[in-house]
Amino acid sequence: MVFTALWSTGAIAAKFGIRSADALILASVRFISTGLIFGPYFLLHNKHRFWPRGSEWKPIIIYGLLNTTFTLGSFFAAQKYASAGMSTLFLAVAPLLMALFSSWFLGRKLSRFEIIGMLVAFSGLILSAASELPKGHIKPLGLVLLIIYMVSYACSSIYFSSIKRTLTNIVFNVWQVFTGGIMLLPFAFLFKDYHIHHLDTNLLLSMAWMVIVLSFIANQLWLYLVKIDTVKAAAWLYLAPVFGYALGYIFFNETITVFTISGTLLVIAGLVVAGRNKKAVKAVE
């Protein structure tokens, strides 16, 4: 719940940030700043080995490319073309892809409760979006960017759960965010999305939130969760649109309809059903 609530603020922080700077340069500066701010602490902290060894660079670069460059870079770019509620809606579709990819590549068998729960929750998302799509709250380019975001997020989570690391999660996270930010810079210049229009309080506050709360705290929570169980952790992402629509209403006056409320109830019901499998297993044991 904490992770989902924090992660759902990403669209809000990005929308505030792009008032002062172009989306891709904003994202790149955010990720590079995360490494520059937190890197020195772990470099001087004897409890954590900071410098990666030769073989450890490969998973850092691959995960940084999937999770930071493609996932978060496309998410930032999409904020010009989609509402906060619609953006977090795509985040909630990721569990279906994660479940599918887990069954393909990791051999994880889905229980009937997980399948039914996810389908119920997904039906709730469709219902909550029904009144938003006809209003044009997402443009074609935004749709493409959010699809890239969704697929990359699912791929990055599956990849992370399958690799063996000798670096601690927290150090690995700092390095992947930093390298992902560097790899995003060429895209910013390629698409001429590299201007900082206003160096103001709005930019600094949104950047501080994204670096400290999202890149560091929320990412660390996610790495911890997917290591326990990728699919069960991903199921909670269904609640992201609930927070997304609420925050969009508070900060940007985005509409909340009866379809959104009904869909939210279905989302919660789906999560309850998906969680029954774990309780059943414990009862048998």
pLDDT, one tens digit for every residue, the chain (285 residues) = 888 889 889 889 999 999 999 999 999 999 999 899 888 888 887 777 899 998 999 999 999 999 999 998 999 999 888 888 778 777 777 777 777 777 777 777 778 887 887 788 778 777 766 666 666 666 778 878 988 988 898 889 888 888 888 888 888 988 999 999 999 999 999 988 989 999 999 999 999 999 889 877 887 888 788 778 777 777 777 777 788 888 888 998 877 777 777 877 887 788 778 766 554 433 333
pTM for the model stands at: 0.78
For helices 112-130 and 240-252, angle between their N-to-C axes, nearest 10 degrees: 20
The answer to whether residues 243 and 88 touch, using CB atoms and an 8 Å cutoff, is yes
Among candidate residues 112, 124, 99, 123, the one with its CA nearest the CA of residue 276: 112
User: Which tokens is 126 given?
Assistant: 């469709």
SS (H, E, C) 84-144: HHHHHHHHHHHHHHHHHHHHHHHCCCCCHHHHHHHHHHHHHHHHHHHCCHHHCCECHHHHH
Cα separation, 235 vs 268, in Å, equals 10
Residue written as token pair 């609930």: 242
